[in-house]
């Protein structure tokens, strides 16, 4: 009986010792990992995006919670310095108080948190009919847009259609969607249709 009691006591002592040893090893590993994690620091890279996304849609709202614009893209990269890159990009204005705009291009980028956006490759800019004005359409290979003021400009060859009247300009254009004005630069060639009810009063061609 005394022998069994001694054996049982030795086993209990061994089990307790093993448990304490495992606890010590586990605690040492935990603090080692925690020390390594705390030593890590995130250093933003100017060449690597801080996030990427596919089939993304961003919607902008005003202070009343009303949607004012929507930006979509097949792929998008955002960088820590507020730069953005996108492919198959499209921008649509949603403010009912302003002429509705649609802007698309193969590639898009912004270097100032979308205050301005630049598009390249098969760029199309269209404005829906507004009040007594017909629809307006531009196509070019590059365009820069100032989204806060609804102004757009390009220094590339541009084709414009206003209603059924068409115009081409070799050195670009400047379009203001608020003032409803267009300035065309370079060799400007227009084709007007006399029977059309629309007139060309909002297109100012500045040939240079």
pLDDT grade for 203, boundaries at 50, 70 and 90? very low
For residue 34, pLDDT beyond 70: no
Rounded to whole angstroms, what are the CA distances from 156 to 56, 110, 120, 149?
29, 19, 11, 21
Sorted by sequence, the CB contacts under 8 Å of residue 149 that are 6+ apart come out as 176, 178
pLDDT grade for 113, boundaries at 50, 70 and 90? confident
Asked whether residue 155 is assigned to any structural domain, the reply reads yes
Distance CA 93, CA 120 (A): 19
Mean pLDDT of 93-100: 85
**Structural domains of the chain, count:** 2
Please answer whether residues 135 and 152 qualify as being in contact, where contact means their C-beta atoms are separated by less than 8 angstroms: no
Q: What are the b/e assignments for 142-177, b being 16+ CB within 10 Å?
A: bbebebeebbbbbeebbebbbbebebebebbbbbbb
Exposure on the CB side of residue 22, measured as CA atoms within 13 A: 6
pLDDT of residue 19: 62
Distance CA 207, CA 188 (A): 7
pLDDT grade for 89, boundaries at 50, 70 and 90? very high
Could you list the residue range(s) of the whole structural domain that residue 16 is in? 1-33
For residue 206, pLDDT beyond 50: no
Of 133, 177, 182, 130, the C-alpha closest to 159 is 182
**pLDDT tens digits for 37-79?**
454 455 556 677 888 899 999 888 888 888 888 999 999 998 8
Q: Using a pLDDT cut of 70, give the percent of the chain over it.
A: 71
pLDDT of residue 23: 66
Asked whether residue 142 is assigned to any structural domain, the reply reads yes
Q: Which two tokens stand for residue 166?
A: 């068409």
Whether 25 and 64 share a structural domain: no
Pick left, alpha or beta for residue 64 (phi over 0 → left; psi -120 to 50 → alpha; otherwise beta).
Answer: alpha
Asked whether residue 110 is assigned to any structural domain, the reply reads yes
Whether 9 and 107 share a structural domain: no
For residue 102, pLDDT beyond 90: yes
Asked whether residue 104 is assigned to any structural domain, the reply reads yes
Asked whether residue 198 is assigned to any structural domain, the reply reads no
pLDDT of residue 208: 44
Whether 19 and 109 share a structural domain: no
Helix (H) or strand (E) holding 82: none
Of 181, 101, 112, the C-alpha closest to 135 is 101
128 against 22, higher pLDDT: 128
Please answer whether residues 167 and 191 qualify as being in contact, where contact means their C-beta atoms are separated by less than 8 angstroms: yes
Asked whether residue 41 is assigned to any structural domain, the reply reads no
């Amino acid at each position: 009986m005394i022998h069994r009691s001694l054996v049982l006591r030795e086993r209990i002592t061994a089990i307790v010792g093993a448990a304490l040893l495992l606890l010590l090893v586990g605690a040492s590993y935990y603090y080692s990992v925690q020390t390594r994690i705390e030593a890590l620091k995130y250093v933003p890279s100017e060449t690597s995006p801080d996030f990427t996304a596919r089939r993304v849609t961003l919607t902008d709202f005003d202070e009343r919670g009303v949607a004012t614009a929507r930006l979509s893209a097949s792929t998008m990269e955002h960088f820590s310095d507020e730069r953005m890159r996108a492919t198959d990009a499209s921008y649509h204005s949603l403010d009912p108080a302003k002429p509705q705009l649609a802007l698309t291009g193969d590639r898009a980028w912004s270097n100032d948190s979308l205050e301005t956006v630049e598009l390249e490759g098969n760029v199309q800019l269209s404005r829906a009919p507004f009040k007594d004005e017909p629809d307006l359409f531009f196509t070019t290979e590059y365009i820069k847009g100032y989204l806060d003021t609804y102004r757009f400009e390009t220094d590339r060859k541009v084709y414009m259609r206003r209603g059924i009247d068409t115009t081409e300009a070799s050195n670009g254009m400047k379009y203001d969607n608020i003032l409803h004005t267009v300035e065309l630069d370079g060799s400007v060639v227009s084709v007007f249709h006399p029977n059309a009810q629309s007139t060309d009063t909002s297109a100012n061609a500045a040939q240079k």
